[in-house]
Amino acid sequence: MAQLPPFDHTPLPYDGPTPAEVLKMRKDFVNPAIFHYYKKPIMIVEGKGQYLFDETGRRYLDGFGGIVTVSVGHCHPEVVKAANQQNETIQHTTTIYLNPGIALYAKELAAKMPGDLKVCYFVNSGSEANDLAVLMARAHTGNYDLVALRNAYHGGSPGTMALTSHHTWKFNVPHSFGVQHARMPDPYRGPFGMDDPDAGKKYAADVAETIQFGTSGRIAGFIAESIQGVGGSVVFPDGYLKHAYEHARAAGALCIADEVQAGFGRTGTHFWGFETQGVMPDIVTMAKGIGNGCPLAAVVTTPEIARSLASRIHFNTFGGNPVSCAQGRAVLRVIENEGLQANCLNIGAYLTAGFEKLAGKHSIIGQVRGKGLMLGVELVKDRNTKEPAKEQCAEVFERCKDLGLLIGKGGLWGNTLRIKPPMCIHQADADFMLEVIDAALAGI
Ligand SMILES: Cc1ncc(COP(=O)(O)O)c(C=O)c1O
């Protein structure tokens, strides 16, 4: 059986409620629409670096980072120290008073952005960031409609639920109006395949058609993730966003890059996912990994676009909270000081090569895809029909947990294993992960 690499950390003894008691309390008192992973849910009570510990002290390799959110590692000492220091000094002010945290953080975040993207708005979640981006695009252009992509996930608020394009996340209520979804640019499942050098341009033509057939012809915005995360780590063909942005801009749109999952170096080659497609968005939204687990998100845009929102007050109580800002600043420092983007590139390439090797052995693997440490392994019943191997994927996922590896699962049919660990994992962890997934796929 695969062995986790040695790790010098003893978790604290746990003497709280048992998993059965917690499950019961969740059932009785917590939102019944949330779901838990695994037939028999596990309880996580401690995290350190790339590892998680359950109430018995059992260690797991975290291959999913709390849904692509723990970017620099669980309880990273520098992040913890920054948050603790801020908690002991002043926890909350709102922006009605000056506090250095928000100003310093905005300056440091802006320094990470290309071009004229330098005005930061701080909010509390990815959904809120995307809602704000949509408002901004509408206020700036005077247009209303938006084009998003099929297979996208942009949030669960009433506004972003309209952008999201999976029936599984949508309630049967009126969402925000005026959103059309263009064809998903997926070279594995779509009509233009991996071998078509013009696939990017061909998929992007559907953005122009969606505008022509589904809107007044003038739109406020085009929004896309740089790699579709919840949709199963779908990577667009080269040139897709460039052509899509051209079509959208010709119809008056601002282009919004949703970097909630792909940002902060995770793709390995670039700090921002949109840079892997060589485009310059007008608005960038970010969340999750930005704060390594604290409720922090941001929208960054140009001074010109920001002026369009200045005609009214824009305020939220917790946006720019001193503790979140301290934590966000620490995350930026750790990514830089520990070379985590380069680590994503190296370990990501190592894992990709390993998964490709597994694909040679297990015919259930239909495609290995992704960039850096944002990877997907799509499972299919048959490589020709590409019928999603949903039940098998669920079984592999359970087996991985039993063997000590926690990963994610995604795509509309839930047949893609999502590998998005904290960006600090080591090669020995990657070896463990490959060995576990190999064992979990055996005989499936
Ligand atoms: C790409 C993307 N955008 C937006 C969101 C919404 O973020 P939040 O759950 O913080 O509202 C998510 C969440 O999974 C996401 O993956």
Q: What Cα–Cα distance (Å) separates residue 40 from each residue in 55, 168, 384, 401?
A: 14, 22, 34, 10
pLDDT digits (tens, 9 = 90+) for 150-202: 999 999 999 999 999 999 999 888 888 999 999 999 999 999 999 999 999 99
Decide whether any atom of ligand 1 lies within 6 Å of the 155 Cβ. Answer: yes
Ligand 1 atom at shortest distance from the alpha carbon of 156: 11
Judged by phi (left if over 0) then psi (alpha if -120 to 50, else beta), residue 320 lies in: left
Decide whether any atom of ligand 1 lies within 6 Å of the 294 Cβ. Answer: no
Tell me, in angstroms, the distance from the centre of ligand 1 to residue 12's CA: 32
Residue to mutate (ligand 1; options 288, 294, 374, 420; most atoms within 8 A of CB) = 288
Non-local (6+) Cβ contacts of 427 within 8 A are: 346, 347, 350
CA 64 to chain centre: 10
Decide whether any atom of ligand 1 lies within 6 Å of the 260 Cβ. Answer: yes
Cα gap 385→363, rounded to integer Å? 13
pLDDT of 174 reads 86
Decide whether any atom of ligand 1 lies within 6 Å of the 151 Cβ. Answer: no
pLDDT of 132 reads 98
The burial class, CB within 10 Å (0-12 / 13-18 / 19+), for 158 is middle
Nearest to 413 by CA among 366, 351, 356: 366
Ligand 1 atom at shortest distance from the alpha carbon of 259: 1
Ligand 1 atom at shortest distance from the alpha carbon of 287: 10
Decide whether any atom of ligand 1 lies within 6 Å of the 200 Cβ. Answer: no
pLDDT of 35 reads 84
Q: Which residues pair with 376 in a beta bridge?
A: 369, 418
Longest CA pairwise span in the chain (Å): 63
CA angle 437/236/301 to nearest 5° reads: 115
Tell me, in angstroms, the distance from the centre of ligand 1 to residue 213's CA: 28
Cα gap 257→263, rounded to integer Å? 10
Decide whether any atom of ligand 1 lies within 6 Å of the 259 Cβ. Answer: no
Tell me, in angstroms, the distance from the centre of ligand 1 to residue 377's CA: 21
pLDDT of 389 reads 98
pLDDT of 16 reads 98
Stretches where the chain sits below pLDDT 70 are: none
Decide whether any atom of ligand 1 lies within 6 Å of the 199 Cβ. Answer: no
Residue to mutate (ligand 1; options 164, 260, 316, 318; most atoms within 8 A of CB) = 260
Nearest CA to ligand 1 atom 8: 126
Q: How many residues in the chain?
A: 444
Residue to mutate (ligand 1; options 127, 134, 374; most atoms within 8 A of CB) = 127
The answer to whether the CB of 147 falls within 8 A of the CB of 255 is no
pLDDT, the chain, mean: 97
Tell me, in angstroms, the distance from the centre of ligand 1 to residue 260's CA: 6
Task: Determine the 3-state secondary structure of 351 from DSSP.
Answer: helix
The answer to whether the CB of 199 falls within 8 A of the CB of 188 is no
Q: What Cα–Cα distance (Å) separates residue 307 from each residue in 137, 240, 311?
A: 12, 30, 8
Residue type, 281: P
Cα gap 391→405, rounded to integer Å? 19
The pTM is what?
0.97
Tell me, in angstroms, the distance from the centre of ligand 1 to residue 129's CA: 9
pLDDT of 259 reads 98
